[in-house]
Structures are given as structure tokens and as C-alpha cells.
Amino acid sequence: MIPELGHFSLILALLLALVQGVLPLVGAARNNAAWMAVARPAARAQFLFVAIAFGALAYSFLSGDFSVVNVTRNSHSRLPEIYRLTATWGSHEGSMLLWTFILGLWTVAVTLFSRHLPEDMLARVVGVMGLVSFGFLLFMLATSNPFLRMPMAMDGSDLNPLLQDPGMVVHPPILYMGYVGFSVAFAFAITALLSGKLDASWARWSRPWTTAAWSFLTIGIMMGSWWAYYELGWGGWWFWDPVENASLMPWLVGTALIHSLAVTEKRGSFKAWTVFLAIGAFSLSLLGTFLVRSGVLSSVHSFATDPTRGLFILIFLAVVIGGSLLLFAMRASQVGLGGRFALISRESFLLVNNILLLTATGSVLLGTLYPLFLDALGLGKISVGPPYFNSVFVPLVTPLIFLAGIGPLARWKQVNVPELANRLKWGFGASVVAALLLPFTQGDWQPLVSLGCLLSLWIAVTVAISVRARLRSSSGWSANFYGMNLAHLGVAVTVIGVTMVSSYQTERNMRMAVGDTVTLQGYTFRFGGVEDIVGPNYKGSRGTLEVSRNGKPVSTMYPEKRIYVASGMPFTESAIDYGLTRDLYTALGESLDGGAWSVRLFHKPFVVWIWIGAVLMALGGFMAITDRRYRASRKQGRAAA
């Protein structure tokens, strides 16, 4: 009965999404207030029924209803309850329902927190989001129904062991909050094109929603990177996996969009550019869905694929992306140029910043899709991996990071070059000296390490200069200003983490018997043997490694090798001793003769700084959306109404 309730709720949500998508848009075009007023109640009702469906699927997993195909394929009677909840979105069908649920959540948030918007604009924004919801609901009901029934099975096939991790409880929802959040920026952009009102007010209304989505996506990518680091047993934090790239591309374009919105809001420039970026960010989010869900690629992150559904997603992509770009092409010529600016100005720096971000996105897109095109044309299979991305992406990001230090200190319209140089000269000198000396603390000077340190210190120093100037001025508190600088500081922290761990990490693959010791970067690892373990739905072996330094105990680490009962799939569970300046990482390999085991040992300096920096970026974004200007615009909107 519960699955049928969920299925019926999806059908009602589909009909409501159609009403939400059509009536408000037609009403706005005809200036019909009654039809425009449908936007809010239809959006909220649609979300309510999607929420009921999501709850019904979660209940089916938690109760172990093996008459539901989705539950049988992705759960097991011995699966812990927390992972039964995770299994709700651990399948293709469940993940699409989660996407639609979060899209409804964003839509309801717009109806609640955008009362300052003119009624016709709100109707268009909610209407566009309703049409996107309609597409996803139709896709689910036509090809990916999560509530299909079958004769009751004795047990299920179990959830993919990769997803049986606490991080998977929160990682997909947060990542989808970022992915789907760009639909709000997309809806605002389409609304601006339809109404012809691409002014500073539109940018101010759109900017906090875009920043919130970008912040969620930053946290989602960070959590995915951390999950890969501790869960996959290989010790890396980024592999340029196609699904990793699928989340990186909208993040890069979203970063460009945030900066472009700032120019449109402040100076009235970049209006067409901003609309194009808003369309691009959401289009790449949809493309990521296509890559992950259509079965065109294989990835450890791509946990739910089916090639038969790819055609529907491809058509949906063509309609949404093609339609929005066609509308952009028709209306772009009507958009004014906005405020003029000199060659050396903050606008110019931000323009170059956006061009570099788009070029970097293009390089990632090419490396991700090129093998797929060759395969589709029957020209053979190739693999594009880290060597390509590192050699193409990194040179593009290097000047981008350097400009990120200059841009916030430059004036709008025109920069007094001698004044700017005077503000930056001591900071640049200090960054260069420190970058030349810092690598010697690791005992091995390398040019690329110095470059990474220079970029990181340059960002940190320019942030300090900017904050100092703000504190000495008469300007009051600005959440947007301090949020921006906190995000830039996060970039500096991430860059130093990437630089240090990429250049100075140490790895040893050893054969270790009981009592054997290995010394790595001053840490002594003593192998204490292996014991059998039994989990709720797995059995395996747990090793013991006692770590000491200079004869003093540091930690005891317990890496595991598991075999999951239902699937028979082997799985490595690493053990990590975290630290602010280094991680010690261990993983069990295979059992060898004489009671010995193969063991992987890593010493990873400053690796945690990569994720600390990402958290600072996201916190900066969340701080920025609390700026009083956005609260003021809501009050002004209500007063005007």
C-alpha cells in the first residue's frame, strides 16, 4: 500500500508541476494576476506530494519491503538501518527522486524568501522551475519508477559496499543541493530574457541564490573528495574521474557566474555574459546527470547506470539547453552594454577571470567527452587521465589564482596603476621571499612547490591587505566583503594543501609479517598481525599497526579487508591517523604466504588543508548571502508592493 501511495503521489506531483510550469508563465505573458497567483500554491503542493513519495520510498527501504524492485536490488535484510536510509538514494531511481525532491525544496524556498520580487517575475521564475520539475517527474514515471512491484523476494541483493559509509548519508543530498540550486539562477536568467529586464535589480535578486548553490556544491565536492580518500583505499583525493569532473564543471562556471553577477549588480555591465553563465552552470549540472545516469561511462562514483534511459535524458538536455540558448540568441542583441570601464579596472580583471574559468571548464569538458565521442563513432577506446588534466588545467588556473589576489584591491571603472602597485609591492615581495624559502623546510626545493607556495601566500597577503584597508576606513560591516575574502583565503589554504601533498607525500608497499617494522618519514609502523572480524553484513580481517615516533607511541591503526556476504565483493577499509600537518594512511592488501600481508603505508603532509580550504570557501559563500543589501532589497520590494 505504501509504494502505491508513493507512485500516486508522483503522478499528482507531475500534474501539479505542469500547472506550475504553464499557468504562471502564460499569466505573466498576459498580465493575468489570477494565473500568476497560482505559482506559489502549485509549487508548494507539488513539493508536498514529492515529499510524500520520497517518504514512501524511504519507508519501503527501512521496513525491508522486498516486493519493491528498487528495494530488492539495493538493500538486504542484514543491512544496517542507517544504510537502508542511504539506499533510498543509492539507486538510479532513488537518486532521481532525491534530485526532484531537492528541486521542489529550492522552489518552495523561492516562494517563501522572494516576496520582494514583482509578481510577474516571481511567476516566471517559479514557472520555469516547474517545467524543469515536470521533465524530471516525467522521466521517473516513464523510465525510472522507484515503486515498481515484483513477487516478494526472500532477500535483497544488498547496497553497493562503496555506499555503505556514513559519508554517503549526507554527501549526495548536499551535492544535489548545489547541482539543483543552480536551477534558481537558471530560472532567473530565463525570466530576465523573457521580460527583457536585465538590470542591477535582477542581479541582486539572483546573486544570493547562486552563492548558496555554489556553497553547497563546494561542500558536496569536498565531501566526495574526502570520501574517495578514506574509502577507496588508494590514498588519493582527486583522480580526474569523469564523475568528479561532472561536479567540477558546474562549480567552475558557477564561480564565474558569482563574479559576473557582482559586476552586473554593481556596474550594470556583463549582463549578457551573466545570463549565458547562468544557463551554462545549470546546463552542466544536467550534463553531469546525463553522464552519471545514462550508462555512457564507468566510474566508482557512477553507482547507478542504465543505457536505456540515456535517450530520454539526452532529449531533455536538448530541450532545456537548446531552448534556453535559442532564447538567449534571440534576446542577447537587446541587452545593453552597461557601464563602461577602462582596460585596467576591476571589471577587466573579473572579465579575464571569467574567461580563464570558462577555458578551464572547456578543457575538462573536452577531456571528459572526447573518449566518449571516439567510442560512439567506432574509432576505438582511449583513456584521458590525470596527465592530460594536470598539463592543461593547472596552467590555466595559475594566472586565475594570481588575478584573484589583484581583483578585489582594484577600483571599479579605472585603476590608478601606481596606487595599486604601491599597495601590492610589499605583499608581493614577502610572498616571493617566503615561497623561495618555505620548500627548504621540507628539505627539497622544487620550482613547482615554490610556485604553489607563491600563489597561496599571494592570496593570503592580498586578503590581509584588503581587510586591513577596510578596517582602517569608515566603512561598516559588510557580510559580502568579509565572505568574499574568507572564500579567497580558503583558496589559499587549498592551494598550499595540494602543493605540499602532491610534492612531498611518501608511499611504501610492503610485505609485513607479525612483528615486522617499517620506518616512514620518522614514523615507525609495527605490524601486530590480523584477526578475523564479523560485521552485520560482512566478514573479514582486521590488521593492527602500532605507530611510534622516537620511541613514543603515536597511535594504533586498524585497516580492514572485508567480504560482503550478499555480493561476495571484497572491499578495503583504510585506517587513517589525521593531523593538521600530516596524515598517516594505511591499507591492507592481500594475504601472503607464512601469515604475512601486503600493506600500503602513506605519509601525506598537509592533505587535510585541501578540505579545510574548501570549508572556508563554502563558509565565505554562506556569510556573503547574509549581507544587509539583500535584506534591504526585500524590504524595498515589500514597500513598493
Residue 288's pLDDT band, with cuts at 50, 70 and 90, is confident
As a whole number, mean pLDDT of residues 169-177 equals: 93
Q: Is the pLDDT of residue 423 over 80?
A: no
Q: Nine-digit cell at 30?
A: 498576459
As a whole number, mean pLDDT of residues 77-97 equals: 91
As a whole number, mean pLDDT of residues 541-563 equals: 96
Among left, alpha and beta (phi > 0; psi -120 to 50; other), residue 69 is alpha
Give the span between the Cα atoms of 514 and 264, in whole angstroms: 66
Q: Is the pLDDT of residue 430 over 60?
A: yes
As a whole number, mean pLDDT of residues 506-531 equals: 95
**Residue 301 has what pLDDT?**
46
Among left, alpha and beta (phi > 0; psi -120 to 50; other), residue 324 is alpha
Crossing angle of helices 167-195 and 242-267, in 10° steps, is: 40
Residue 53's pLDDT band, with cuts at 50, 70 and 90, is very high
As a whole number, mean pLDDT of residues 505-530 equals: 95
Whether this prediction's pTM lies above 0.75 is answered by yes
As a whole number, mean pLDDT of residues 516-540 equals: 94
Q: Which residue has the cell 594475504?
A: 591
Which pLDDT tens digit goes with each residue over 378-420? Answer: 777 787 888 999 999 999 999 999 998 888 888 887 777 787 7
As a whole number, mean pLDDT of residues 254-276 equals: 89
What phi and psi values does residue 537 have, to the nearest 5 degrees? Answer: -140, 25
Q: Which of 225-239, 443-457, 529-543 has the lowest mean pLDDT?
A: 443-457
The residue extents of the domains of the chain are 1-164, 416-501+617-641, 506-606
Sequence-distant (≥ 6) Cβ neighbours of residue 539 within 8 angstroms = 532, 533, 562, 563, 565
Residue 641's pLDDT band, with cuts at 50, 70 and 90, is very low
Largest CA distance in the chain: 82
**Residue 337 has what pLDDT?**
59
Q: Is the pLDDT of residue 41 over 80?
A: yes
As a whole number, mean pLDDT of residues 105-115 equals: 93
**Residue 222 has what pLDDT?**
96
Q: Which of 29-43, 50-64, 387-401, 432-446 has the lowest mean pLDDT?
A: 432-446
Give the span between the Cα atoms of 134 and 139, in whole angstroms: 8
Question: What is the Cα gyration radius of the chain?
Answer: 26
Give the rounded percent of residues in the chain with a pLDDT score beyond 90: 60
Q: Which of 123-127, 154-158, 217-221, 311-315 has the lowest mean pLDDT?
A: 311-315
Q: Is the pLDDT of residue 306 over 70?
A: no
| 155-164, 178-187, 343-352, 558-567 — most confident range | 178-187
Give the span between the Cα atoms of 595 and 199, in whole angstroms: 72
As a whole number, mean pLDDT of residues 365-390 equals: 84
Q: Nine-digit cell at 297?
A: 561511462
Give the span between the Cα atoms of 286 and 144, in whole angstroms: 17
**Residue 639 has what pLDDT?**
43
Q: Is the pLDDT of residue 515 over 60?
A: yes
**Residue 509 has what pLDDT?**
94
As a whole number, mean pLDDT of residues 290-313 equals: 60
CATH code for the part of the protein at 1-164: 1.20.120
